Amino acid sequence: MSGLRRLTAGRGLLFGGDYNPEQWPEEVWAEDAALMRDAGVNLVTVGVFSWARLEPEPGARDFGWLDQVMDLMAGAEIAVDLATPTASPPPWLGHLQPETLPVDASGHRLWYGSRNQFCPSSPVYRERALGIVRDLAARYAGHPALALWHVGNEYGQVCHCDVSAQAFRAWLERRYGGLDALNAAWGTAFWSQRYSGWAEILPPRRAPYLVNPTQSLDWQRFCSDALLDHFRAERDVLREHTPDIPVTTNFMGLFKPVDAWRWAAEEDVVSNDCYPDPGDPLAPARAALVHDLMRGLAGGRPWLLMEQAAGAVNWRPHNLPKPPGQLRLESLQALARGADGLCYFQWRASRFGAERFHSAMVPHAGPDTRLHREVRAHGRELRGLGEVAGQPVPARVALVFGWESWWALEEPGRPSDRLRADEQLLAYYLPLWERGVAVDVVPPDADLGGYALVVVPNLFLVADRDAEALTAYARGGGTLLVGPFSGVVDPDGHVRTGRFPAPLRAALGASGEEWLPAAGEVGCRWRDGDTFTAHTWTELMAAEGAEAVAEFTGGDLACRPAVLRHRAGDGVAWYVATLPEPAALAEVMARALADAGVRGEVAELPPGVEAVRRGEVLFLLNHGAATARVDPGGRCEDLLTGAVADGPVTLPPRAVAALRRHT
Amino acid sequence: MSGLRRLTAGRGLLFGGDYNPEQWPEEVWAEDAALMRDAGVNLVTVGVFSWARLEPEPGARDFGWLDQVMDLMAGAEIAVDLATPTASPPPWLGHLQPETLPVDASGHRLWYGSRNQFCPSSPVYRERALGIVRDLAARYAGHPALALWHVGNEYGQVCHCDVSAQAFRAWLERRYGGLDALNAAWGTAFWSQRYSGWAEILPPRRAPYLVNPTQSLDWQRFCSDALLDHFRAERDVLREHTPDIPVTTNFMGLFKPVDAWRWAAEEDVVSNDCYPDPGDPLAPARAALVHDLMRGLAGGRPWLLMEQAAGAVNWRPHNLPKPPGQLRLESLQALARGADGLCYFQWRASRFGAERFHSAMVPHAGPDTRLHREVRAHGRELRGLGEVAGQPVPARVALVFGWESWWALEEPGRPSDRLRADEQLLAYYLPLWERGVAVDVVPPDADLGGYALVVVPNLFLVADRDAEALTAYARGGGTLLVGPFSGVVDPDGHVRTGRFPAPLRAALGASGEEWLPAAGEVGCRWRDGDTFTAHTWTELMAAEGAEAVAEFTGGDLACRPAVLRHRAGDGVAWYVATLPEPAALAEVMARALADAGVRGEVAELPPGVEAVRRGEVLFLLNHGAATARVDPGGRCEDLLTGAVADGPVTLPPRAVAALRRHT
Amino acid sequence: MSGLRRLTAGRGLLFGGDYNPEQWPEEVWAEDAALMRDAGVNLVTVGVFSWARLEPEPGARDFGWLDQVMDLMAGAEIAVDLATPTASPPPWLGHLQPETLPVDASGHRLWYGSRNQFCPSSPVYRERALGIVRDLAARYAGHPALALWHVGNEYGQVCHCDVSAQAFRAWLERRYGGLDALNAAWGTAFWSQRYSGWAEILPPRRAPYLVNPTQSLDWQRFCSDALLDHFRAERDVLREHTPDIPVTTNFMGLFKPVDAWRWAAEEDVVSNDCYPDPGDPLAPARAALVHDLMRGLAGGRPWLLMEQAAGAVNWRPHNLPKPPGQLRLESLQALARGADGLCYFQWRASRFGAERFHSAMVPHAGPDTRLHREVRAHGRELRGLGEVAGQPVPARVALVFGWESWWALEEPGRPSDRLRADEQLLAYYLPLWERGVAVDVVPPDADLGGYALVVVPNLFLVADRDAEALTAYARGGGTLLVGPFSGVVDPDGHVRTGRFPAPLRAALGASGEEWLPAAGEVGCRWRDGDTFTAHTWTELMAAEGAEAVAEFTGGDLACRPAVLRHRAGDGVAWYVATLPEPAALAEVMARALADAGVRGEVAELPPGVEAVRRGEVLFLLNHGAATARVDPGGRCEDLLTGAVADGPVTLPPRAVAALRRHT
């Protein structure tokens, strides 16, 4: 029984949040348990930041309070996701051994008084961390409440100190074997950067001008790996004591510092923290994309929404609240896209500390509040959706995204800082989401066999074998859609010479010779129709077998190809040599979907309404400001209301339907 | 005879400025004295930055030049405000003992070459500073020119070094007694911040993420106290030598680093530096507010405008000059609001140094200039206003403001950074100022007994006893007006649980459960009339006895209270749960004034005209761009012109009238 | 035979670029040589960043590869501009001796991994640098390819470390002799900054507030001199070995850190790097100004355009490409303004390193590209313009500009940061450029004898003798045009007291008493005509013999002089007391040109068309978006096409004509 299934079997969908009883007097704990039960909570995350409480002095242990909490939860039949407390060492560690504190690229030491103040490469920190993890695992192995291990929290620390430099060098030696290979890969012939000894090599630190981009790329690889190595070390200790308890750590969506593809392979359960910005009109699509990414990281299996906010967060400059119904809408969106657990940060709003103004499931004003009533209602209604647990979200479209390419693309010193990997990813996801087309987010080296359409919004860095696989996919009958500035560099960040995108040129039946960032809007025209605009980026392309489906209309690019379509072997390959306005990109996508024979879940989807099928259940979620009517195409039962109806469903703003075909 | 009275008795109103003869050859000094006499100067501040001149090498003394200057001033019958030179130690101190130099939160040492380069907690600096102060006091005790001591200058230095950390710990030990109390107050259960020993505690330094807000709040308290402690040490040395010479230091208005309420209590004379920005249309109201604050700090007694600019300053990116008449208008505004002395930085424009482009009473171009002629005319006209000296500015409205609440509110990690304590203070002051209603600015623990209306624009942090006093005030027949996000935290910065504002809930007859920062404009409607808009901030409120005088009109808050009025005991309490547009806030204020039975000095005040009564004299100041006519309501003599008239007074732009009822 | 003439004699115009063969396998080198020949390349710059390759370990030498390259170039009859590789030391130097790494004003060390990481004052760096230079010079002395020495690269490094402090003190001792003189010059009487010993003196480092402006001014002088001292040391080594090979280093146009007037005097050849921003509509005029500056630095002799881009650069946030024809247009502009060589960074686009996305003469896509075809065509057409080599660009107008004044003006703490020396320079250059009036850019101490008009856009700092020379020039029959805020401080940065501009007051027949930065637009009127607007800056002036040609119309300055014209002796002096809108400044310039009897090269020049005569050849360059017609006034041959025509020439966008009168 794989990761999350161990938790949902017998419990159904998971519902709960971070629980920090150490912030409250014991008399509150009993009220907490009662309120949790009332709200349908069946999973709480405990102990994320309790190192200083568990180990108040070096080597001391104070587990008494946690014993109580674990027993209380066991008694209330609430499972515990028990955290290793290593995200934030106690002040005594930084005080006694300041070399465990991280140092930024300018040489500033970062102090305790906040959180996350550790050098990922510090052996002292590692030893201390594994010590407390070992004792925690030994103590709670076999405890009836223990259901999941939560390692650390939101990994992302970076340190540029000399200890980190030493670890970086060791990592580089493993990667390159010898200095000559490193000098070749880093291109140290440029700007007199040749290294004559390993000891010279440093993290990228504050420097007079642009830093070597391959050094920087490797540094980002190393930083992700150094944290992953720490995760693995904790996980191994935990597995030793509790081989049957799955292990997770919480991602932060499209978070640049951590290559989640590499991490997810080491986890039993993929979990994520997701905080859509209520002020961002694209937030629903952004969240959907991240949910799909989590499902991809989980290999198509369910994942866990570890943290979301019941209301406003507190870390933006201006924190908009969630209007009534938004809490439920966002949570059900995650469910519809593969989450089997819907948890919050945090259970009860803190009175003190840096997050005292972060919303919680129980606000400062108490349980008799609009917010808590929504939480409770949502927790309860999840009981009726238990059949969804474990169900897949089948998709015929793959969206390719990789961290290495992201890192490589966004080095300074490129043609335009305005071309960003995550924004391109969203741009290509958006028209799919708007049509209710299910999408799997996959890594660049994914097996593409099962997909009717493969979309590559940007793959600046591509390995030879991945480019070959994309080419083979298209030639073999697939439909491939590639966005601009892809295929530019190899895994060392070296530009592939010749006309671009060199390794995809044959597949695309087209090639280019110059990247031309645009001053403003650029005019374009469909060969078979209307004009549209593009922006930010253009390329000087020539068709080499492909058809120029759209071309530029103005300036020095007039009549040059803007969008190309190529019959490649048995398949079709598209290339987009600019950033079209959203409606135009949607048109490109519509044509590619037609080539691939893929249609959305619902024939006509009003703007703002999201449609996604999970298992047998079609979820319709209205993110728009207007009431919408959607025809699911047949007689259905709404699992949320029990209503059975034929024909269109009416969805007021923020409403959700969970429809199962009724026979 | 209290502080300033000792100076004005026999001299009348004070007029003068900073005088730095050490920047000029001696032949200029005699010209200075003659020009001063001619301009009516009777007070100069000498020696603010002369440490390196007085002590050219460690332990050396060179008082000769200062003897000469003191004698020269005595001969010219110009009083001297003699400064201790401790605001800027000589370079030799930083060179010999770099640990006396301040360090910022990132660990950067701040060097000499500018000014103010000292660590407030350095015992080395303290010893050196008191050494020169002692000798200065001994030398000039009894000198006929000596009339006032000026300690340091514009205190505000902050240092995060290890010596400061040690002093911070000592301060915390005094505050908390034990570590447990500190851990409780700082909420170190959050994010694993529990301290196991005093030695671990540090100033808030550069950290990976948000810093503990109570640590930060205490740090701000400590920083203000550490400077105050230094001020006291110098003051005590001065008092030992010259018990009859009053002691002051110059504030900088609404300056966040220094809790002026605590400081003013330690001074004999309250003085201030005030530099309204000519490019800011709200500058006249801002200045009036600060003047009223100074009067509040002085306990209603006169205060001293230590520094203002005769023309442009030099420290803004773009320094607008004062148009003709502006110098006089601004200076008389301070007089009208309680200043008994009107001084400038500085007497003669420097040829060198970082402030060479700051205007002065004598410009680079010399005395035969527009600017100096205005200075001279203003100095001379002040002789005719001597009767104002010592007179009070009676007010029936109190405006509550406290530094601790300001510090606490503006910690990062709150619902919205856009809600600022000083801006809220100004917003509530503005409609009072526009109506010519006199206001006392008072601290949160003020005796409110004598006021008809008490306005609390924002009191985020409030002590129990202060909340009780506000409640008692309202219940006892007063009118209380409270702005949003007040009463939120206790003095430790802990959120008060339950519906908010918890400690004022009974007084206000209303309570809320959620703070809801607004995305844009918010529609509102008076229950008895028109609509208006609010912005930035809303709250989810419920009336509990209060009447919803205005309510929100749109979105999820429709029909919820926006402004509430409560008959509380014998009084009335108002609560404003949003940031209304200025006209709407003026309407709230008008209604509260009506409840309180308070009216302005003048029945109909044209826009831009300020009216304030000091003693028997009604000042009318036209800050607007148009000529205005104001009816003072009776036959009056204008002390500035000697003219006697019945009926409306005509005020061209920048004109001032100082009217005394003529019988 | 002076500097550049040694290269062009026998070769004609120079064409080529930076060549970095060490980045490529040897098999590419032969292709490079063939392509270079085909493109008309006759000069390449080699070895700019090859220190780590030449000295792979401390003391080692590896010249083999460079021998090959030099021989290859000699065989291809391509001259080599051989660089000393000292702009970027190898990592081993920073690793073994971190004190050679620069430190910024905040104390951050800047590390290797980029380029330029050296402390200009480090004796260790100096010794290492001269060591490799010595061996390089010894090895290639007499090599047939060696034609020019290129010292370092784009000098501009700054370091605030203790070693630099020691060097600064030595420089100050040489400048001032004694501490008293330094204390007087720096005005250390201000803010208690008096130095009691040399050891106390430091570079301006991070400080609590504004730093002493004279300290800062001297620091900028020192920093330029410290680099120049290093340049001289390398040059002297090179001259010792190869007395007949000229020496250059590449400037960066109006680059603030380096006083190019002092540097140019030490060079045999003046060369420059010029990268106009394709997104900047003023780029053509900016480039023309910089070209004229280079000609000025070269004393009127030809100069070398060492670096330009064939297409887009990579170091702006968004790097616009050059449209077709732009490469040629910009290159010919430099030729027309005195360049005898037109080179690019770089020959072949790098595959790796921080500049891999900088365009090159041979793009990643190879030679069969639009870009390379343009390069090749341009290289070939230059052969037909050989007669231009060595020819002067005669000018009757001088534009005065000095680095010391620039540094002094732009210290913080001045009336307005918005008044900038380089922008004022451009503002006054623009109307001259638009009219096709040739301009020499000259230093403040230039011999003005030969000029009909001398324009001083801003000379904030002026020495007595330079002010006297300007005065004598005007009185002697010249036409002098002076912009605002000139003549304000002496070479110590001390404000000259009395009415301003004190040292030019007599020449201008006018003086002022107050600088009045403006809030917005300011109305003005010609005494003999229309109104116009000015902005940012005004001055309170009075005519003292001059005529107020234009005056302010609104506010407190109404009827005060805005533009003054004075018959000074036998000449005319103009003063502009504000920043007029461009058309109004053009009108001022037109009147001054009329006074001086100076006319443009062409009677009627359409907007966007540049006209400049070099030797016998009139260059017309169309920078505008529209086709233009220009009448050169006679029968001419176009050297670029061979066409001979009478009457107007038609110039499509980006077209160039090189016309020689045809008899």
* Predicted complex: ipTM over 0.90: yes
> What residues are paired with C398 via a beta bridge?
C440, C454
> Contact at 8 Å (CB) between B80 and B343?
no
Nearest-CA distance C262 → chain B (Å)? 26
Active-site annotation holder among C55, C154, C234, C551: C154
User: Cβ–Cβ of C209/B354 closer than 8 Å?
Assistant: yes
Give the neighbours of chain C: at least 3 Cβ pairs within 8 Å: A, B
For domain C5-90+129-157+228-383, give its CATH number from 2.30.36.70, 3.20.20.80, 3.40.720.10, 1.10.3720.10: 3.20.20.80
Element (H, E) at B125: helix B123-140
Binding residues of A for substrate: 115, 153, 315
CA C438 and chain centroid, separation? 17
pLDDT in tens, C421-462: 999 999 999 999 999 999 999 999 999 999 999 999 999 999
In this prediction, residue B93 carries a pLDDT of 98
Torsion over CA of A101, A107, A113 and A116, rounded to 10 degrees? -50
In this prediction, residue B1 carries a pLDDT of 57
User: Cβ–Cβ of B354/C190 closer than 8 Å?
Assistant: yes
A136 phi and psi angles, rounded to 5 deg:
-65, -45
In this prediction, residue C529 carries a pLDDT of 85
Active-site annotation holder among B267, B307, B434, B610: B307
User: Cβ–Cβ of B190/A352 closer than 8 Å?
Assistant: yes
Residue ranges covered by each domain of chain C:
5-90+129-157+228-383, 397-596, 609-661
pLDDT in tens, B175-207: 999 999 999 999 999 999 999 999 999 999 999
> Contact at 8 Å (CB) between C13 and C313?
no
Compute the 3-state secondary structure of chain C and give helix, strand, coil in percent, each to the nearest 5: 35, 20, 45
Element (H, E) at A513: strand A510-526
Cα C49 to Cα A412, C86, C152, C157, C342, distances in angstroms: 20, 7, 9, 16, 21
B153 annotated binding-site participant? yes
Name the percent of chain A lying above pLDDT 70: 100
> Contact at 8 Å (CB) between A178 and A195?
no
Omega prior to B308 cis, within 30 of 0 = no
Active-site annotation holder among C55, C234, C267, C307: C307
Task: Kindly list the residues from chain B whose CB atom is less than 8 angstroms away from the CB atom of residue C579.
Answer: none
Nearest-CA distance C76 → chain A (Å)? 24
Task: Kindly list the residues from chain B whose CB atom is less than 8 angstroms away from the CB atom of residue A57.
Answer: 196
Gap between the Cα atoms of A361 and A369, Å rounded: 10
In this prediction, residue B509 carries a pLDDT of 98
Angle between helix axes A64-75 and A26-39 (nearest 10 degrees) is: 30
> Contact at 8 Å (CB) between C367 and C318?
no
| DSSP annotation string for C167-228 | HHHHHHHHHHSSHHHHHHHHTTTGGG---SSGGG-------SSPPPHHHHHHHHHHHHHHHH
Tokens, residue A76 = 């209330």
Nearest-CA distance B351 → chain C (Å)? 5
CA A199 and chain centroid, separation? 36
Task: Kindly list the residues from chain B whose CB atom is less than 8 angstroms away from the CB atom of residue C199.
Answer: 95
Q: Please report, as a single letter, which amino acid is at residue A306.
A: M
Q: Work out the number of other CB atoms within 10 angstroms of the CB of residue A640.
A: 18
Q: Average pLDDT in the A309-322 region? A: 98
> Contact at 8 Å (CB) between C102 and A208?
yes
A533 phi and psi angles, rounded to 5 deg:
-120, 155
User: Cβ–Cβ of B349/C495 closer than 8 Å?
Assistant: yes
Task: Kindly list the residues from chain A whose CB atom is less than 8 angstroms away from the CB atom of residue B514.
Answer: 311, 321, 363, 365, 369-371
Gap between the Cα atoms of C650 and C660, Å rounded: 16
Tokens, residue B592 = 């509260």
pLDDT at C384 over 80: yes
Gap between the Cα atoms of A132 and A118, Å rounded: 15
Catalytic residue flag (residue A307) = yes
B315 annotated binding-site participant? yes
**3-class DSSP state for residue C403?**
helix
Tokens, residue C355 = 């500049």
Interface test with B, best of A155, A351, A373 (most B CBs within 10 A): A351
Task: Kindly list the residues from chain A whose CB atom is less than 8 angstroms away from the CB atom of residue B414.
Answer: 314, 357
In this prediction, residue A1 carries a pLDDT of 57
User: Cβ–Cβ of A352/B494 closer than 8 Å?
Assistant: yes
Among residues B324, B295, B294, B299, which one has the least CA distance to residue B311? B324
Gap between the Cα atoms of B339 and B8, Å rounded: 11
> What residues are paired with C650 via a beta bridge?
C629
> What residues are paired with B18 via a beta bridge?
B45
Q: Mean pLDDT lowest for which of A151-155, A551-555, B74-78?
A: A551-555
User: Cβ–Cβ of B354/C210 closer than 8 Å?
Assistant: yes
User: Cβ–Cβ of C493/B352 closer than 8 Å?
Assistant: yes
Catalytic residue flag (residue C387) = no
> Contact at 8 Å (CB) between B573 and B508?
yes
Interface test with B, best of C164, C191, C214, C417 (most B CBs within 10 A): C191
pLDDT in tens, C94-131: 999 999 999 999 999 999 999 999 999 999 999 999 99
User: Cβ–Cβ of A497/C370 closer than 8 Å?
Assistant: no
DSSP B450: T
Q: Work out the number of other CB atoms within 10 angstroms of the CB of residue B631.
A: 13
Q: Work out the number of other CB atoms within 10 angstroms of the CB of residue A641.
A: 12
Nearest-CA distance B218 → chain C (Å)? 23
The pairing of strands B146-150 and B247-248 is: parallel
Q: Average pLDDT in the C455-476 region? A: 98
Task: Kindly list the residues from chain B whose CB atom is less than 8 angstroms away from the CB atom of residue A117.
Answer: 207-208
Nearest-CA distance A200 → chain C (Å)? 6
A537 phi and psi angles, rounded to 5 deg:
-145, 135
User: Cβ–Cβ of A317/B211 closer than 8 Å?
Assistant: no
Gap between the Cα atoms of C172 and C175, Å rounded: 5
* Radius of gyration for the alpha carbons in chain B, expressed in angstroms and rounded: 26
- Of the pLDDT bands very low, low, confident and very high (cuts 50, 70, 90), residue C3 is confident
Enumerate residues 6+ apart whose C-beta is below 8 A from B513. Answer: A363, A365, A369, A370, A371, B499, B500, B540, B542
Enumerate residues 6+ apart whose C-beta is below 8 A from C652. Answer: C622, C627
Nearest-CA distance A621 → chain B (Å)? 19
Angle between helix axes B162-176 and B213-241 (nearest 10 degrees) is: 90
Out of A197, A413, A497, the one facing C351 most closely (by C-beta) is A497
Q: Average pLDDT in the A213-235 region? A: 98
**Closest residue in C to B370 (Cα–Cα):** C513
Task: Kindly list the residues from chain B whose CB atom is less than 8 angstroms away from the CB atom of residue A312.
Answer: 415, 515-517
Q: Please report, as a single letter, which amino acid is at residue A94.
A: G
Tokens, residue C327 = 């490469």
A114 phi and psi angles, rounded to 5 deg:
-125, -115
Gap between the Cα atoms of C476 and C466, Å rounded: 15
Residues of chain B with confidence (pLDDT) below 50: none
In this prediction, residue A360 carries a pLDDT of 98
Gap between the Cα atoms of B195 and B198, Å rounded: 7
For A336-360, give one letter per residue: b (16+ CB within 10 A) or e: bbbbbbbbbbbbbbbbbbbbbbbbb
**Closest residue in A to B195 (Cα–Cα):** A91
Omega prior to B220 cis, within 30 of 0 = no
Among residues B322, B351, B315, which one has the least CA distance to residue B20? B351
**Closest residue in A to B185 (Cα–Cα):** A352
Give the neighbours of chain B: at least 3 Cβ pairs within 8 Å: A, C
pTM: 0.97
pLDDT in tens, C528-553: 989 999 999 999 999 999 999 999 99
Task: Kindly list the residues from chain B whose CB atom is less than 8 angstroms away from the CB atom of residue A115.
Answer: 191-192, 208-209
Among residues A249, A28, A206, A229, which one has the least CA distance to residue A107? A206
Q: Average pLDDT in the C618-644 region? A: 95
Task: Kindly list the residues from chain B whose CB atom is less than 8 angstroms away from the CB atom of residue C209.
Answer: 114-116, 354
In this prediction, residue C555 carries a pLDDT of 83
pLDDT in tens, A462-512: 999 999 999 999 999 999 999 999 999 999 999 999 999 999 999 999 999
In this prediction, residue A554 carries a pLDDT of 81
In this prediction, residue A529 carries a pLDDT of 85
**3-class DSSP state for residue B118?**
coil
CA angle B424, B429, B434 (to 5 degrees): 135
pLDDT at C1 over 60: no
What CATH architecture applies to the domain B397-596?
A: 3-Layer(aba) Sandwich (3.40)
Q: Average pLDDT in the C591-620 region? A: 96
User: Cβ–Cβ of A110/B208 closer than 8 Å?
Assistant: yes
The pairing of strands C271-273 and C303-307 is: parallel
Segment A276-283 long-range contacts (CB within 8 Å, at least 24 positions apart): A276/A330, A277/A316, A277/A320, A278/A312, A278/A320, A278/A321, A278/A322, A278/A323, A278/A326, A278/B519, A279/A318, A279/A320, A279/B519, A282/A426, A282/A430
CA A540 and chain centroid, separation? 33
The pairing of strands C609-614 and B571-576 is: unpaired
> Contact at 8 Å (CB) between A518 and A485?
no
Among residues C273, C294, C276, which one has the least CA distance to residue C285? C276
Residue carrying the six token digits 């025209």: A525
Gap between the Cα atoms of B347 and B364, Å rounded: 11
**Which numeric CATH code is attached to A5-159+224-388?**
3.20.20.80
Binding residues of A for Zn(2+): 119, 159, 161
In this prediction, residue C581 carries a pLDDT of 98
User: Cβ–Cβ of C95/A200 closer than 8 Å?
Assistant: yes
Q: Indicate the fold that domain C609-661 takes in CATH.
A: Immunoglobulin-like (2.60.40)
User: Cβ–Cβ of B356/C495 closer than 8 Å?
Assistant: yes
Nearest-CA distance C136 → chain A (Å)? 16
In this prediction, residue A633 carries a pLDDT of 87
pLDDT in tens, A268-299: 999 999 999 999 999 999 999 999 999 999 99
Gap between the Cα atoms of C549 and C570, Å rounded: 19
**Closest residue in C to A190 (Cα–Cα):** C353
